[in-house]
A and B are shown apart, each in its own frame.
Chain A
Amino acid sequence: MKHPVFVVTAVVAFLAVSGTLFLAQTTIPSIPYDSVDFLKPPANMPIGEVAGVATNSTGHLFVYMRTGPFNITVGTSRTFPHGSSRLLEFDQNGKFVREIGRDIYAFAYAQSVRIDPQNNIWVVDQYSNMAVKFDPEGRVLLTFGRRPETSRVPNVTLAAPAAAAPTGAPALPGGQAGAPARGGGGAPPAAAGGPPRGGGGGAAAGTPGDSFNRPTDIAWDAAGNIFVADGFGNSRILKMDKNGKFVKTIGGRGNGPGQFNMLASIAVDAKGNLYVADKGNNRIQVLDNDGNPKAQYQNIGSPSAICISPGGHQYLYSSNSNDPDDLERGEIYKMELDGTILGKFGRAGHLVKEFGSVNSIDCRTENVLYVGELINWRVQKVTLRTK
């Protein structure tokens, strides 16, 4: 007699504690969708991990990808990194149009590309610690951050598990940290409890300016203010005005409101609120335009790529991307800006309609998404079916 009462009490208590999670996950509808492997590159064009994908107003698609080996050359007393990431433009049918910025100094390890309302092309590179603004013709207009002159080859013990990265690891020249550092969209949620890999308090943390440590993404508000997610090494947002003048830094490492643990992606709504994929803390944080925390959205896994659609009624997409070491999770959520989950679609995998470590989403059209995948070296054009 006593036993059933206890069980009921326990269930009620469980629901009380985790009710939101429990209810949310059992009632999320699956959104039916179709998908095609979108890019049609010329034969023998090197294709690699698709880190960034974005459309401009004409429907052209810009893809920033990791295409070649990351080389270290040996100088007289220093080593010099040479990346091979490429920015490619495709038309609305996926046909290759041109390459932009071939072998430019900032292109080392691709992370993100975004297109602003004037069709300028903005690229964020995780290894060169730079963001670059190109005009629509492909000329460099503004640069942010600086590529390290040299890079000591991180001589780390790979046996150390990710979460056991030594805190206070010495910051290397140029802000590359000596801790076992992985990422690029790959940190498992388990890393949430420990210090993020690659940081350990880089030299740039808190620096009042555009000194980045593994930056990940960029966004703008209607006034043209620039917000850089900085990133995997630092855990802050840098706000600049439209001319690139420093305004403020927002946040720092931690799991409290307004703190971050691996900012993977950032987007701004029409009112200027910031939405931050706080990947290591398994949440999206919403902040006002000055960086004051407003809300947290959970129960969406570990957000690795987010996107806000334009128009009168804006939607928020967030990908719970799989770690490259597994094929778990991988679903993408469609939400209202207030965090209400409208539905989800997809799972991790290699097939078309499955997703392999999604690192970026373009959602210029509400129900037509371009999804860039790291491990499948692919952009899928996903069409959500509407009733």
Chain B
Amino acid sequence: MKRIIEVCVIAILMSAPVFAQGGPGVKEIPYDSVPNFLKLPPNMYMGEGIGVARDSKGHVYTYTRSGATRLYEFDEKGNFIREISPGNYGFEMAHGVRVDAQDNIWIVDEGTNMVVKFNQEGRPVLMVGRRPDPFDGLPTAATFYQNPNPPMPYRFDRPTDVAFDAAGNFFVADGYGNSRVAKYDKDGRFLKTTGSRGNAPGQLNTPHSIQTDAKGNVYVADRGNNRIQVYDNDLNLVKSITGIGAPWAVCITPGPHQYLYSSNSSPESNNSTQMATSGEIYKMELDGTILGKFGKGGKLLSEFSTTHAMDCRIENELLISEITSWRVQKIILKPVASAATK
């Protein structure tokens, strides 16, 4: 009898987050996708849609894995403006792009292990991390996933994303190799680090995306652990948000009432089984309460083929960057009128 109870308790515990959050009963948010949002000149192409971000003017930056990793700027209508710093020493394998409050453009590159801040003129003005020199050689297959580098203050191991607080401090999600978050002041000086590989509270398994709210709390997409971990500004763990699948990309809207978006992206977009059971994006309150979800895996317009990044500077007008469809979709959410307004 006792054993049966134990089994039941375990079963309930294991399944509880699913029922509590992303399972049946979560409201579907109706939405449209704008066809051909980004318009490139002839013979310029998007590659894998890795990073996308808007600045204060609504200009769109994409960091894409093409033949070479490239950083493009478009205007708010999706018209191509320019390529920024082609051939930059920090570009190799795109992973993230974000724009800070001063409209500086930050890229995170998991190939060079660098975070590079560009000013609006497109000049690199702050570099953190360093491209390995050729004398370092290549890791062997055996060491590839073994966290070869200890998490040193200024050395990343396949970093994934960067976020900023109101004071200009920035937080680097680092990443595939190190599974930690590192905090720096506005001048690029290391302040502290938290996390190591694991699934205990405060541990991380591939922190894949990172955002802050207006109070400076830090939201880390702990992708491998199927949760968003929330830290205060000093990187003390506050809480964990679960029941939303594997968060690949997170985004927090600006404004007085902030919302949190998180994408349960399909791990392999060429696996039809996975595509059928994932790909949805959740809209939440900052406390993790799910308000609704939208989307599913797929190649068509308004479907998502492994969402890798989201911009949500405009609450109900998201930019969604997908790995395998080589595109950025502009998604218009159509909030359903609540019962009170009917």
Interface, chain A (partner B; CB < 8 A): 43-44, 46-49, 66-70, 81, 83-84, 108-109, 127, 153-159, 176, 180-184, 186, 197-198, 214, 324-327, 349-351, 356, 374-377
Contact A324 B154 (CB under 8 A): yes
**With the chains together, A182 CA to B149 CA distance in Å?**
13
Contact A109 B133 (CB under 8 A): yes
**With the chains together, A320 CA to B137 CA distance in Å?**
27
Residues of the A chain whose Cβ atoms lie less than 8 Å from the Cβ of B140: 155, 157
Total interface residues on B, CB under 8 Å, equals 37
Residues of the B chain whose Cβ atoms lie less than 8 Å from the Cβ of A47: 89, 123-124
Contact B154 A158 (CB under 8 A): no
Contact A351 B187 (CB under 8 A): yes
Contact B86 A181 (CB under 8 A): no
Among all A-B residue pairs, the 4 with the closest Cβ atoms: A154-B137, A48-B89, A181-B135, A158-B148
B313 on the A face (CB < 8 A): no
Residues of the B chain whose Cβ atoms lie less than 8 Å from the Cβ of A109: 133-134
**With the chains together, A383 CA to B16 CA distance in Å?**
66
- 5 A-B residue pairs with CB within 8 Å: A47-B124, A153-B137, A159-B148, A183-B135, A350-B127
Interface, chain B (partner A; CB < 8 A): 83-89, 91-92, 121-124, 126-127, 130-131, 133-140, 143, 146, 148-149, 152-155, 187-190
Contact B126 A158 (CB under 8 A): no
Of B85, B143, B190, the contact of A157 (CB 8 Å cutoff): B143
Contact B187 A68 (CB under 8 A): no
CB distance from A178 to the nearest CB of B (A): 9
Residues of the B chain whose Cβ atoms lie less than 8 Å from the Cβ of A351: 187
Of A176, A325, A356, the contact of B152 (CB 8 Å cutoff): A325
Contact A350 B126 (CB under 8 A): yes
- The answer to whether A181 and B137 touch (CB under 8 A), given A44-B83, A159-B148, A326-B154, is yes
Closest to B155 in A: A325
Contact B89 A350 (CB under 8 A): no
Contact B89 A325 (CB under 8 A): no
CB distance from B67 to the nearest CB of A (A): 12
Residues of the B chain whose Cβ atoms lie less than 8 Å from the Cβ of A374: 130
**With the chains together, A181 CA to B138 CA distance in Å?**
11
Contact A377 B127 (CB under 8 A): yes
Closest to B116 in A: A377
**With the chains together, A334 CA to B140 CA distance in Å?**
45
**With the chains together, A116 CA to B84 CA distance in Å?**
37
Counting chain B CB atoms within 10 Å of each CB, the highest count among A70, A157, A158, A325 belongs to A158
Contact B134 A81 (CB under 8 A): yes
Residues of the B chain whose Cβ atoms lie less than 8 Å from the Cβ of A156: 136-137
**With the chains together, A186 CA to B132 CA distance in Å?**
11
Closest to B138 in A: A153
**With the chains together, A70 CA to B124 CA distance in Å?**
20
Contact B87 A184 (CB under 8 A): no
**With the chains together, A84 CA to B68 CA distance in Å?**
14
Contact B135 A349 (CB under 8 A): no
CB distance from B190 to the nearest CB of A (A): 7
Residues of the A chain whose Cβ atoms lie less than 8 Å from the Cβ of B121: 43
Of B124, B136, B148, B152, the contact of A182 (CB 8 Å cutoff): B136
Counting chain A CB atoms within 10 Å of each CB, the highest count among B123, B124, B131, B133 belongs to B133
